Amino acid sequence: MKIVIIGGGGVGRYLGTALTEDAEVVVIDRDPANLAEVEDSVDALTLRGDATHRSTLRQAEVHKADLVVAVTGSDTVNVAAAALAADMGALRSVARVDDPGFYETKAAHESQVLGIHAVLCASRLVAAELLRMLTGSDCRHTFSMVGGALHGAIVDVPADSPAIGQPPQRLRTDGSETVRAVIRGSRVRAAADVSEVDEGDGLLTLGPPINVARVVHYVHERHANRVVLIGGGDIGGQLATSLSQFESDVRVVELDRARCESLAAELPKVRIIHGNGTNLAFLRDERIGDSGSMCAVTRSDEVNLMASLLGRELGVRRTFALVHRPGYASVYNHLGIHGTTSAHEVMARTLRWLLPGRRVLGHSALPGTDHEIVELRVPPLRKRRLTARDLPMPPGMLVLGVARESGELLRTDVEIEGGEHVLVVGRAGGQRALDRALSRLAREASD
Amino acid sequence: MNLRTVAALTGLLVALVAVMMLAPLMLALYDGDNNAAFGYATAMAATTLVSVSLRRWGGPQSADIHRKDALGVVALTWLCLGIFGGLPFLVEGSISNVAAAVFEAVSGFTTTGATVVADVDALSRATNLWRCQMHWFGGMGIVVLFVAVFPQLGVGAKHLFRTEVPGPITEGLRPRIKQTALALWWIYAGLTVLATVMLIVAGLPIYDAILHAMSTLGTGGFSSRSASIGAYNNPAVEWIIALFMLVAGLNFGLYYGILRGRWRDFFRNYELRFYLLINVAIIGVVALSIMHLHPAPGDSLRHAAFQTLAVTTTTGFMTEDFERYPDAARYLLLLAMFMGGCAGSTAGGIKASRVYVLFKVALGELRSLVNPNVVRSVRLGSTTIPTSIAWGIVVFVTTYFLIFAVCSLALVAQGLDLITAMSAVVACLSSVGPGLADVGPTQNYGFVPGSGKLLLSFCMIAGRLEIFALLAVFSPECWRR
């Protein structure tokens, strides 16, 4: 497999390192200093040139590439280079576009814009990942699927939960079923087969990040807490928007007065505080220590680290931080910060998910059971009509739903098409059997 | 530098040397040569023991190999190559002196081809195979082979690769360095097979053809005959070897380009054009100057071409003693020794591209004296050479001449005459092999004192590793943890 990365900056280098195991990597950049750093840190071929010039892309042989990823600092260059690569015959091309105004939906990635296979919004991906981390503190386990567009969580039902006694399928959000299975003891049962939720059950919830967070919040109602975000940039704003849909007390601390005013106009339910997140006296005054969770998401690693440490010192129960240089993550963990994420990590995960040719796209073990959840890509079905239930699954496998790349999770009785994603739960180690079953299906469809 | 990482990796590399000794051992057993068989079996056992000890001390190899570790691995490996490569000679008894055995082995692995053996014909078949085999493995590089065959070492492999592969700009052929190393070895092995077949067709016995093909492609110069290629008195063999010497002196990346259908790049390569132009010029001058020795123009051209290519590709074969040539031709050949082959080839020397860039830098400086405000870039064809690389080349060449000056002075101090000392140093530094006067094509290095042999061994390794990789190891900075 061949991957061409356009942009040899921090993100390009991280992606290069992360993807060299899966593929041969070529990195294009205009700046020789960037390329020298790539040479030193990534086992990849480097090419100096402007990726918006077709001659450069031709030299990089993008027509033979399975994936072209444009991650320079400029949205315009990324879109132009990825569109050119797609036009020149790259199997898949992906562009990083950070301007939220470019997108027509609220999704973290959109498909088929200007012929580009996927346009990724790093700030949305990071905001969704931070939301998963914040939600995860009330859960037994959380995971993300479908390139980060879909979240999953196992939420344990406490004794005083309002969910007790209700049929799990009725714990709906946004009109869609979010609880897809119930873990009782070590057994995993489809939500439809369980009449009512009991104390100690583990509810396997799946859906768009906000829907999963809502169910978790509902099941743990008494644990509702105050969340404070340090930094009101793109990521802070998006995270605040999501949190304000189910948390009653969300606060954003932002240093820039003009940005505060704009946030206050956009987010009426969120309390916007103008101030310095690393000023101890200010944080004390604002009673930040009473918060259940804190998330530091400014553009500076130093500010994020300091703010998280101060928050912890003041008594915040859980602190999370955005890391811009992924190498710093271990330092944060060492200092007791509960979780970190970076644009580099989430983009690498999404890109690995976008790699063509694979049938099993991801999996996550379900703690407390010997089961795992697996994400499969359905092979082209030609004219065959199938629902997810009709898929020839190995025995003991339970189909949970059909996922679209937008993060939408459909029921198992809807008709599926080739290329869609199916989520299956079964005993750990069954991935090979699943892969074989899909290969059989692909063969049958092509006959 | 992490000494344990260095030891663990060097242990693996030394194991490769032990594996290489299998071929001469088998040949000795086949020939019923018990003395040689005992020599190679003992050397193999000792090498294996050291390899296992280094691996044990090094412990499990960590995933990260840093630049300093790579320098340490390559330097230590080349030291081990000299010691363990020379061990069979000592045990077998073909060479009795330790310094001479180390010199012979270093000369083999660095593809220099300078020998201390006066009567090569008297050596066992196994030993002659081992000598040419050292050339072959050392030519493309044992570290490059290691990168190609051992499990993925990631970026660390890149540091190892760069430390050993010659050339101011080492271009990757494939995205992964392991694949680049593998591609280079395949091309190298393919060309060796082709040369062997052609030599057999031209009338050489299979054993001689294999040995000379290995020696030629590695641009070594060891032969199984004392009179080198001249012993066969076969013009076809001489032309084939001359052709393959030239092939080995060119950038192997260009052959990869041809395999990928990029013929044009081959002929558009500026270094190649410059190199061919220089060769044609020297061949012309030498051919004209030896017309009195070979009145037939064909003979004169053949001998001139062979001797010139043997020097410019730093192989060091010969068909006749160029000591008999006029001074102008000898001096030209001596100057050609400094330049050597192309970057990315198996040849040694300063390299054609460096000489070309140096020439351009000098021209640019000259022009800027006249027009100080005009800004010019140094270009190699359509590629602009960044100032940092041009500066690096100037420093490289200066250091090259500095080592040449210091080492030839040291040899003169040991009693060697001026021409012998100077030509011996340049022949070893550029991995040519034969020099002038007492170390001329029909002579050998046996008379050089032990310390002189070790100094020349240092020159050979320094030249093979392009000086800085070896000098860096002597810097205290490199050893700081």
* Record: contact B386-A32, CB cut-off 8 A: yes
Instruction: State the nearest Cα–Cα gap between A372 and chain B, in angstroms.
Output: 30
Tell me the residues of chain A between 18 and 57 that have a Cβ less than 8 Å away from chain B.
20, 24-26, 32, 39-46
Chain B residues touching residue A20 (CB < 8 angstroms) = 154, 176
Q: Which residue among A32, A41, A43 places its CB closest to the CB of B176?
A: A43
Chain B residues touching residue A47 (CB < 8 angstroms) = none
Sheet with A109-113, strands from edge to edge, namely A45-48, A24-29, A2-6, A67-70, A93-96, A116-120, A109-113
For residue A45, the chain B residue with the least C-alpha distance is: B175
Chain B residues touching residue A24 (CB < 8 angstroms) = 174-176, 179
Chain B residues touching residue A18 (CB < 8 angstroms) = none
Bridge partners of residue A353, in order along the sequence: none
For residue A40, the chain B residue with the least C-alpha distance is: B155
Per-residue confidence band for A300, with pLDDT thresholds at 50, 70 and 90: very high
Q: Which residue among B67, B157, B386 places its CB closest to the CB of A43?
A: B157
Measure the CA–CA gap between B107 and B135, rounded to whole angstroms: 8
DSSP track, A241-298: HHHTTT-S-EEEEES-HHHHHHHHHH-TTSEEEES-TT-HHHHHHTTGGG-SEEEE--
Q: Which of A262-266, A429-433, B347-351 has the lowest mean pLDDT?
A: A429-433
Measure the CA–CA gap between B174 and A6, rounded to whole angstroms: 17
* Record: contact A25-B175, CB cut-off 8 A: yes
Chain B residues touching residue A42 (CB < 8 angstroms) = 155
Of A355, A371, A416, the C-alpha closest to A67 is: A355
Bridge partners of residue A341, in order along the sequence: A322
Residue range A263-271: mean pLDDT, rounded = 89
Mapped onto helix, strand or coil, the DSSP state of residue A24 is: strand
Which residues of chain B have a pLDDT value below 70?
Answer: 61-63, 151-154, 166-172, 480-481
ipTM field:
0.71
Instruction: Give the DSSP H/E element, type plus range, for residue A177.
Output: strand A176-177
- Residue-wise pLDDT tens digits, A100-129: 888 888 778 888 888 898 899 988 899 999
pLDDT for B113 equals 92
Chain B residues touching residue A32 (CB < 8 angstroms) = 386
pLDDT for A409 equals 79
Chain A residues touching residue B155 (CB < 8 angstroms) = 40-43
For residue A398, what are its two tokens? 């339970």
Chain B residues touching residue A2 (CB < 8 angstroms) = 175
* Record: contact B172-A32, CB cut-off 8 A: no
Bridge partners of residue A137, in order along the sequence: none
Mapped onto helix, strand or coil, the DSSP state of residue A371 is: strand
Instruction: State the nearest Cα–Cα gap between A428 and chain B, in angstroms.
Output: 29
With beta carbons less than 8 A apart as the criterion, state whether B393 and B399 touch: no
pLDDT for B162 equals 73
Of B228, B96, B194, B73, the C-alpha closest to B143 is: B73
pLDDT for A384 equals 65
Measure the CA–CA gap between B287 and B300, rounded to whole angstroms: 5
With beta carbons less than 8 A apart as the criterion, state whether B231 and B211 touch: no
Q: How far is CA B87 from CA A84, B32, B214, in A?
A: 60, 20, 21
Sheet with A179-184, strands from edge to edge, namely A141-145, A150-156, A202-207, A179-184, A187-190
pLDDT for B456 equals 96
**Percent above pLDDT 70 for chain A:** 97
Of A438, A430, A439, A444, the C-alpha closest to A388 is: A438
Residues of chain B in Cβ contact (below 8 Å) with chain A: 67, 154-155, 157-158, 172, 174-179, 386
Instruction: State the nearest Cα–Cα gap between A250 and chain B, in angstroms.
Output: 44
pLDDT for A320 equals 94
* Record: contact A40-B155, CB cut-off 8 A: yes
With beta carbons less than 8 A apart as the criterion, state whether A250 and A227 touch: yes
- Residue-wise pLDDT tens digits, B160-187: 777 777 655 555 678 888 888 889 999 9
Measure the CA–CA gap between B256 and B263, rounded to whole angstroms: 10
Bridge partners of residue A316, in order along the sequence: none
With beta carbons less than 8 A apart as the criterion, state whether A373 and A383 touch: no
Mutate to test the interface with B, among A45, A48, A56 (most CBs of B within 10 A): A45
The letter for the amino acid at A308 is S
The letter for the amino acid at A35 is L
* Record: contact B176-A32, CB cut-off 8 A: no
* Record: contact A43-B179, CB cut-off 8 A: no
